[in-house]
Amino acid sequence: MELIAVLTAAGILLAIAVVFFIGYMKSRKVDEAIGIISSIIVSQEIEKAGKRREYYEAVGPNAHEIIGRKGIEISMAVYFSYETFRVQGHFEVVAKALPKSGMEGKIIYDSKTAKWVGTGDIRQKWLP
- Let me know: does 82 contact 99? Beta carbons within 8 Å: no
Range of the domain at 94: 2-126
Mean pLDDT of the chain: 90
Q: Is 110 helix (H, G, I), strand (E, B) or coil?
A: strand
For residue 13, CA distances in Å to 19, 32, 53 come to: 10, 30, 57
pTM here is 0.84
Domain count, the chain: 1
Flag whether pLDDT at 21 surpasses 70: no
Q: What is the pLDDT of residues 70-102, one digit of tens each?
A: 999 888 889 999 999 999 999 999 999 999 999
